[in-house]
């Protein structure tokens, strides 16, 4: 007997009799011999105790928290204990998509709250119930821009995270959409002058970008709108919106980015949270689920999935996307995190990120590093290193510490190193690291 | 109130709870905010004017979400027989393992030499899924079943393009889930509907009539959404291959056939699986999921990268080959979900076959006990799910919707309704192997009572549900005048 | 289902669209269609100036659970669209031949093959 299978031999016998067959094998008569396995599944089961020991052994091989002084799409932030505690409630985690609204008002109200907070955070009218992650959200943002403008090309900033551009390219290749690259200026901002804007469905920019530089979204919006194109603003670090001017206030038409920073553990890169928002006029073109407010027959306020005619289960091949399961629990978690921090708390945390990153940047400059780009940064920045840093980087790695990410490894030509500092890094830690790095 | 005492629906106190911005006071906080220990470095001209998010205390937040959770129903609450969703028990040891700090705090860009533990989990899961399906290689990047489908179609597209072929159509059965044609459309394929035969499964003749040099291939869910094994699939696969196409297997219903079917033998070239269905990871109210993709030999060169390989006992990342379709995930996949599936596979091992056997036993038991009161459109042998229609109840003016809503009052989540589209008023029941005989008997008694009530008191069914926090909601109003945030 | 209204001052298609017999050339859907679709939540309209061939799709009608294409009963260029439907798609349900008209075209192309009230009534009986 296994703890996941409640059937006793007597249960099985009773059920087989009710069905009218002699054994369970008989229920598989419709599986022809030509389709069958020729050997049993070659895997062995483990007890809960052996499995725990094995998992703990593997987890123990991983570095300590905070060993990585990098972001590049995945960030270490403090997560208040209430967040995993509440999101671990199985009424949230073991529920399905809220297709039966009468028995899923918990999920529905939670997602409606998330949609509202995300829209306010980004300065946009409407946010959907989530996409998988910032990369696929960006890809879907590009597809959405093509649908709205009926054009088939997008201008793509080289300041967008390289892995995000790879995912975008994968989608564009499949859908027959052309990508035109926009390089960065000496300040580290996107140079949109090269692209023939009249052909572009969207201008895709990430802010803060891969190098941590805060992009002038208002300027990019003007460039895009002058050619009747849309500004698609992406991001990898949602914490930035705790203090930066919103993409919405700067003219973005579609905003798509990563929400992992808001309450999701780093978890080796997944699961994530694709935040996607747009203007009211494009509401019927946004992919993903949407929760709306309504009433029941007695006039009580209620929430329900709505505008489903955009989606695959109704429109099928004419759907705006194929997305079905998204990042439901991650969106709820983001809502809970934002609720715990509040507007006041989030602004405070975001400011700590900016101030501490500025501190490390200044400290590195003092020991011979120079910023790759002159543009303003939030909590990530790229530096050119003095001689001997590569050896120091390797030495630190041997001790289990990743101090900086080589930008060259991502396909860029510049020999720069990417750093990230969040609220989790103390001044003492930074001082100790600066001393260590300065020391040959 | 339901009269029969054999099911769990009861009435209880359900507490109200306002929206987040309807409570709280400016200046409250529910988080511990560290004091600054470095000088301030404001960003002149770049900062936002205000941040209009509500401020709440920690207890405000705890009560808020605790109350919201009481309005929900999960697998942990009760039977959740959603057809083709496989709402099986989500083991709690998986949660404990996913929270281990070594995994939870891991940055994905740590070099391989510092990430062996996590990489080993991904690698072992890939290998296990190949063993389970019979296919040759696995990719764990896709973030959901539909994402896995998209990946599979992209692989097929890349295979054709590598041979300088530009086929424009994809064959898709009429019983297919909506994500199938939607995924094909994202790759520019025209979906060609293949009608199922009179027995509810695809026929070789039916496919032969449509498979030509313009078709890139066929997408087949097996068992299909009627719970029937596509017994002609081996011949169909042969035909499609002969005419230059490939076979995509939608593995959403894999829970029916583990230990029985060999996808490679059948002729499937690529299939996706839903880790949040067959492999027990929680559904989360709509994700996160993960859509593993397994392929036969032909499609290995096209897989997304990077991939994991083992060299002298150490795991390394290898670059995607020149034919790779690219990347579907910013990192390596939904690691936290993969980790839970790994734990589940490690727990059951070869007993995954038992899971399928009991899933099929449970569905057939329910079918045997309900077929006299609900009409079975396809009486053929079915596996892990069974599909009824509301034909008998229609005579009394009672629809599938009414049956579903009344079931809620009885303390059960309704089955999947109105899908597949080929059945009028479809009721698709998939109990999964997690449910005991007692639970099934309770569900059966509730369904039988509802069928009886349909004759005696249809009005009560039209008014259902009556025990929930809200009754049937105005979906028309919600769609006519969408209010999607608290500020609209 | 109650008797479907089938006025005699319009011509019908087998797909349940109607078109006026003379100018102004208005197009809409029949009472049978609005009843079968249920409460409409949205009407996707073409732009003024768009041209369509007979039988071509010119818009869609949405309920919460379905999307139905609208096909031209005759060829023509769109002269006006019923803007009231943006805020009140239910006008199609309430008054399918009156306030629920969908588009108006400049000149109707050939009306051959369209059904008069008797032929449409007979057609409905076969369904």
The per-residue pLDDT for range A3-42, each reduced to its tens digit, is: 999 999 999 999 999 999 999 999 999 999 999 999 999 9
Q: Are residues A180 and A269 in the same domain?
A: yes
**Residue A33, SS3 per DSSP:** helix
The fraction of chain B above a pLDDT of 90, given in percent, is 94
C89 vs B480: CB contact, 8 Å cut-off? yes
Residues in chain B closer than 8 A to A117 (CB atoms): 20, 53
Which domain-ending residue is among A300, A321, A337? A337
Q: Same domain, yes or no, for A250 and A330?
A: yes
| Interchain contact, C67 vs A284, CB within 8 Å | no
CATH number for the domain including A407?
3.90.1150.10
d(CA A248, CA A236): 17
Q: Which residue of C has its CA nearest to A310?
A: C67
pLDDT of residue C2: 62
Q: From the CA of A151, how many Å to the nearest CA of chain B?
A: 15
Query: Residue B8: pLDDT band by 50, 70, 90 thresholds?
Result: low
On whether both A302 and A169 belong to a single domain, the answer is yes
| In A330-440, beta strands by DSSP E | 370-371, 380-384, 405-406, 416-420
Is the pLDDT at B257 greater than 60? The verdict is: yes
For residue B179, is the peptide bond before it cis, meaning its omega torsion is within 30 degrees of 0? no
Note the pLDDT of residue A412: 94
Q: Which residues in chain A are contacts of C40 at CB distance < 8 A?
A: none
Beta bridge mates, B85: none
Assess whether pLDDT exceeds 50 at residue A161.
yes
Q: What is the mean pLDDT of residues B30-48?
A: 96
Measure C108 CA to nearest chain B CA, in Å.
31
Strand partners, A178: A153
E strand or H helix at A84, and its extent? helix A82-87
For residue A397, is pLDDT > 60?
yes
Q: HSE (CB half, 13 Å, CA atoms) of A297?
A: 9
Segment holding A104, helix H or strand E: none
- For residue C40, give the chain B residue with the closest CA: B476
Based on the fold, state whether residues A209 and A295 are members of the same structural domain: yes
Predicted local distance difference test score (pLDDT) of residue A1: 78
The answer as to whether A76 is a domain residue is no
Domain boundary among A308, A337, A366: A337
CB count in 10 Å sphere of residue C55: 12
Q: φ and ψ at B273, to 5 degrees?
A: -130, 155
A313 touches chain C (CB under 8 A): no
Same domain, yes or no: A307 and A383: no
> Quick check: B43 pLDDT over 70?
yes
Asked if pLDDT for residue C1 goes beyond 50, the answer is no
B326 pLDDT more than 90: yes
Q: Does A36 reside within a domain?
A: no
Confidence of residue B7 (pLDDT cuts 50, 70, 90): low
Please tell me the CATH code under which domain B95-349 is placed. Answer: 3.40.640.10
pLDDT digits (tens, 9 = 90+) for B431-443: 999 999 999 999 9
**CB-CB contact of B199 with B245 (8 Å):** no
User: What residues of chain B lie within 8 A of the CB of C61, using their CB?
Assistant: none
* Category of B170 on φ-ψ map: left (φ > 0), alpha (ψ -120 to 50) or beta: beta
Name the closest residue on chain B to residue A214, using Cα atoms.
Answer: B46
Neighboring chain B residues of C63 at a CB cutoff of 8 Å: 476
pLDDT surpasses 80 at A344: yes
The Cα–Cα gap between B113 and A402 comes to 12
**DSSP state, residue A310:** G
Q: Average pLDDT, stretch C5-29?
A: 94
pLDDT reported for residue B3: 55
Closest CA to B365 of C90, A16, A329, A246: A16
Neighbours of chain B (3+ CB pairs under 8 A): A, C
Range with the poorest average pLDDT among A257-271, B242-256, C1-15: C1-15
Cβ contacts of residue B257 below 8 Å, gap of 6+? A28, A31, B222, B223, B229, B356, B383
Does residue A305 sit in the same domain as residue A346? no
User: Could you say which of 3.40.630.30, 3.10.20.30, 2.40.50.100, 2.60.40.10 is the CATH number of the domain covering C21-105?
Assistant: 2.40.50.100
pLDDT of residue B5: 56
Per-residue tokens: A269:
């890169």
How far apart CA B4 and CA A229 sit, in angstroms, is: 62
pLDDT at B13: 79
Cβ atoms of residues C1 and C35 within 8 Å: yes
Return the DSSP state at A245. Answer: P
Please indicate, yes or no, whether residues A251 and A324 belong to a single structural domain of this protein: yes
Contact between A237 and A266 (Cβ < 8 Å): no
- pLDDT > 50? residue A267: yes
Q: Which of A287, A305, A337 is the last residue of a domain?
A: A337
In a domain, A402, yes or no: yes
Closest alpha carbon to B65 in B9, B93, B23: B23
- Cβ neighbours of C42 in A, within 8 Å: 284, 309
Compute the CA torsion angle A69, A70, A75, A80 (nearest 10 deg): 0
A400 and A355 assigned to the same domain: yes
Do the beta carbons of residue B65 and residue A110 sit within 8 Å?
A: yes
Integer Cα distance of A81 and A166 in angstroms: 35
Alpha helices in chain C (DSSP H): 31-37, 84-87, 90-94, 117-126
Chain C residue numbers with beta carbons less than 8 Å from the beta carbon of B418 are 65
pLDDT at position A321 is 85
* Option in A96, A170, A327 nearest B328 (CB): A170
Q: Are B382 and A83 in contact (CB under 8 A)?
A: no
Any idea what the CATH number is for the domain that residue A261 is in? 3.40.640.10
Distance separating alpha carbons of residues A125 and A116, to the nearest angstrom: 9
| b/e burial code for range A1-34 (CB count within 10 A of at least 16 → b) | eeebbbbeeebbeebbeebebeebeebbebbeee
C65:A284 CB<8 A = no
pLDDT of residue B1: 44
Question: Whole-number mean pLDDT of chain B?
Answer: 95
Residue A313: pLDDT band (50, 70, 90) is: confident
Q: Are residues A93 and A217 in the same domain?
A: yes
Chain centroid to Cα B259, Å, comes to 21
> CA C125, CA B415: separation in Å to the nearest integer?
35
Please give the pLDDT value at position A298: 94
Taking the CA of residue B219 and the nearest CA in chain C, the distance in Å comes to: 24
CA distance B94 to chain A (A): 9
In this prediction, the answer to ipTM > 0.90 reads: yes
CA dist list (Å): A142 to A44, A162, B185 = 45, 16, 16
Query: Which chain C residue shows the shortest CA-CA distance from B480?
Result: C41
Smallest Cβ–Cβ distance between B103 and the set A59, A78, A296 belongs to A59
Which chain B residues contact residue C42 at CB under 8 A?
479-480
At A217, is the pLDDT very low, low, confident or very high (cuts 50, 70, 90)?
A: very high
Q: How far is A300 from chain B (nearest CA, A)?
A: 7
B450: closest CA among B402, B395, B380? B402
Number of domains in chain A: 2
Q: Is the pLDDT of residue B400 over 70?
A: yes
Whole-number pLDDT of residue B321: 87
Rounded Cα distance between A223 and A217, Å, is 10
**DSSP secondary structure letters along A46-81:** --HHHHHHHHHHHHHTSPPTT-B---TT-------T
Judge if A397 and A424 occupy the same domain: yes
Task: Measure CB to CB from residue B37 to each of A72, A78, A426 and give the nearest one.
Answer: A426
Mean pLDDT value of segment A251-277: 98
CB within 8 Å of chain B, chain A residues 299-358: 300, 302, 304, 306-309, 311-319, 321-330, 332, 335-336, 338-349, 351-352, 354-356, 358
Residue A98 is part of which domain span? 82-337
Domain ranges of chain C: 21-105
Which residues on chain C are in Cβ contact (under 8 Å) with B181?
none
Based on its alpha-carbon atoms, the radius of gyration of chain B, rounded to whole angstroms, reads: 25
Q: If you average pLDDT over every residue of chain C, what do you get?
A: 93
Which of these, C7, C20, C2, lies nearest to C114 by C-alpha position?
Answer: C20
Looking up tokens 């290749």 gives A173
A172 lies within 8 A of chain B by CB: no
Task: Look at A329 and B326 and tell me if their CB atoms are within 8 Å.
Answer: no
Q: Supply the pTM of this predicted model.
A: 0.95
Which positions ≥6 away from C19 have C-beta within 8 Å? C10, C11, C13, C25, C26, C27, C73, C74, C108, C111, C114
Q: Which helix (H) or strand (E) holds A127?
A: strand A126-127
pLDDT at A325: 82
Quick check: A154 pLDDT over 80?
A: yes
Regarding whether A333 and A346 lie in a shared domain, the answer is: no
B351-468: what fold? 3.90.1150
């Amino acid at each position: 007997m296994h703890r996941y299978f409640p059937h006793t031999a007597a249960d099985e016998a009773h059920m087989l009799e009710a069905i009218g067959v002699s054994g369970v094998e008989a229920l598989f008569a419709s599986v022809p011999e030509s389709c069958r396995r020729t050997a049993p599944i070659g895997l062995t089961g483990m007890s809960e105790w052996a499995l725990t020991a094995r998992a703990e052994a593997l987890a123990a091989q991983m570095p300590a928290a905070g060993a990585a002084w990098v972001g590049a799409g995945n960030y270490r932030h403090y997560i208040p204990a209430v967040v995993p505690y509440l999101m671990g409630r199985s009424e949230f985690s073991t529920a399905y998509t809220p297709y039966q609204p009468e028995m899923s008002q918990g999920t529905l109200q939670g997602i409606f709250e998330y949609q509202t907070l995300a829209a306010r955070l980004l300065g946009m009218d409407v946010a959907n119930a989530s996409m998988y992650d910032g990369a696929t959200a960006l890809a879907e943002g590009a597809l959405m821009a093509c649908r709205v403008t009926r054009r088939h090309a997008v201008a793509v900033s080289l300041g967008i995270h390289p892995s995000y551009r790879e995912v975008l390219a994968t989608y564009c290749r499949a859908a027959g959409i052309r990508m035109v690259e926009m390089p960065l200026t000496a300040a580290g901002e996107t140079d949109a002058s090269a692209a023939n804007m009249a052909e572009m469905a969207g201008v895709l920019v990430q802010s803060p970008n891969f190098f941590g530089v805060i992009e002038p979204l208002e300027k990019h919006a003007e460039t895009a709108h002058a050619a009747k194109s849309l500004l698609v603003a992406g991001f990898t670090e949602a914490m930035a919106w705790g203090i930066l001017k919103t993409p919405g206030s700067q003219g973005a038409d579609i905003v798509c980015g990563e929400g992992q920073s808001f309450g999701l553990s780093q978890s080796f890169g997944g699961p994530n949270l694709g935040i996607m928002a747009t203007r009211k006029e494009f509401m019927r073109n946004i992919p993903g689920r949407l929760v709306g407010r309504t009433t029941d027959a007695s006039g009580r306020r209620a929430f329900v999935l709505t505008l489903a005619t955009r989606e695959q289960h109704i429109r099928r091949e004419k759907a705006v996307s194929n997305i079905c399961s998204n990042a439901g629990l991650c969106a709820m978690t983001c809502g809970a995190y934002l609720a715990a921090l509040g507007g006041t708390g989030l602004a405070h945390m975001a400011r700590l990120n900016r101030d501490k990153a500025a501190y490390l940047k200044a400290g590195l400059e003092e020991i011979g590093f120079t910023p790759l780009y002159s543009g303003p940064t939030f909590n990530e920045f790229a530096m050119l290193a003095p001689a001997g840093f590569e050896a120091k980087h390797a030495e630190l790695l041997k001790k289990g510490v990743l101090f900086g990410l080589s930008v060259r490894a991502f396909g860029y030509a510049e020999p720069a190193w990417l750093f990230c500092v969040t609220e989790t890094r103390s001044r003492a830690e930074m001082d100790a690291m600066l001393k260590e790095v300065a020391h040959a | 109130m339901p009269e029969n005492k054999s099911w769990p629906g009861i009435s209880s106190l359900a507490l109200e709870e306002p929206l987040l911005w309807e409570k709280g006071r400016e200046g409250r906080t529910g988080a511990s905010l560290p004091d600054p220990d470095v000088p301030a470095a404001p960003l002149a001209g770049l900062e936002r004017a205000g941040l209009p998010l509500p401020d709440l205390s920690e207890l405000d937040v705890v009560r808020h979400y605790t109350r919201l959770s009481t309005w929900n129903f999960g697998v942990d609450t009760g039977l959740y027989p959603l057809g083709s969703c496989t709402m099986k028990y989500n083991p709690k040891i998986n949660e404990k393992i996913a929270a281990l700090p070594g995994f939870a705090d891991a940055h994905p860009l740590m070099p391989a030499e510092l990430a062996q533990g996590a990489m080993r989990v991904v690698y072992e899961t890939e290998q296990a899924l190949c063993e389970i399906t019979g296919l040759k290689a696995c990719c764990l990047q896709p973030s959901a079943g539909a994402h896995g489908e998209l990946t599979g179609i992209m692989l097929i597209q890349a295979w054709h393009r590598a041979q300088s072929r530009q086929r424009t159509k994809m064959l898709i059965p009429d019983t297919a889930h909506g994500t199938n044609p939607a995924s094909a459309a994202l790759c520019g394929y025209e979906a060609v509907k293949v009608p199922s035969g009179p027995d509810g499964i695809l026929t070789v003749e039916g496919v032969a009539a449509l498979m030509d040099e313009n078709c890139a291939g066929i997408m087949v869910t097996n068992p299909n959404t009627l719970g029937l094994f596509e017994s002609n699939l081996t011949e169909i696969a042969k035909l499609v291959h002969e005419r230059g196409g490939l076979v995509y297997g939608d593995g959403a219903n894999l829970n029916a056939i583990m230990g029985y079917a060999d996808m490679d033998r059948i002729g499937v070239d690529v299939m996706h699986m839903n880790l949040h269905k067959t492999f027990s990871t929680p559904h989360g109210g709509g994700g996160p999921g993960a859509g593993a993709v397994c392929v036969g030999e032909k499609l290995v060169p096209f897989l997304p990268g990077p991939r994991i390989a083992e060299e002298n006992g150490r795991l390394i990342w290898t670059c995607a080959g020149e034919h790779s379709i690219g990347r579907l995930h910013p990192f390596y996949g939904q690691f936290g979900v993969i980790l839970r599936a790994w734990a589940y596979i490690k727990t059951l091992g070869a007993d995954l076959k038992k899971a399928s056997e009991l899933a099929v036993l449970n569905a057939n038991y329910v079918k045997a006990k309900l077929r006299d009161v609900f009409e079975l459109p396809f009486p053929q042998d079915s596996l892990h799910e069974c599909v009824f229609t509301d034909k008998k109840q229609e005579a009394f003016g009672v629809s599938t919707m009414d049956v579903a809503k009344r079931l809620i009052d009885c303390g059960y989540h309704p089955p999947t309704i109105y899908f597949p589209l080929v059945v009028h008023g479809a009721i698709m029941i998939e109990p999964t192997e997690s449910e005991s005989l007692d639970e099934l008997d309770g569900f059966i008694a509730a369904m039988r009572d509802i069928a009886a009530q349909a004759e005696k008191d249809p009005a009560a069914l039209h008014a259902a549900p009556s025990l929930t926090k809200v009754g049937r909601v105005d979906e028309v109003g919600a769609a006519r005048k969408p209010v999607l945030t608290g500020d609209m | 289902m109650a008797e479907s209204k089938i006025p005699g001052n319009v011509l019908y298609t087998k797909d349940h669209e109607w078109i006026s017999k003379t100018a102004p050339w208005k197009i809409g859907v029949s009472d049978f269609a609005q009843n079968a679709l249920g409460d409409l939540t949205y009407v996707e309209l073409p732009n003024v100036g768009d041209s369509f061939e007979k039988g071509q799709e010119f818009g869609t009608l949405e309920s919460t659970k379905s999307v139905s294409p609208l096909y031209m009963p005759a060829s023509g260029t769109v002269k006006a669209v019923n803007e009231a439907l943006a805020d009140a798609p239910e006008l199609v349900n309430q008054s399918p031949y009156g306030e629920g008209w969908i588009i108006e075209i400049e000149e109707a192309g050939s009306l051959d093959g369209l059904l008069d009230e008797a032929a449409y009534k007979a057609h409905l009986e076969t369904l």
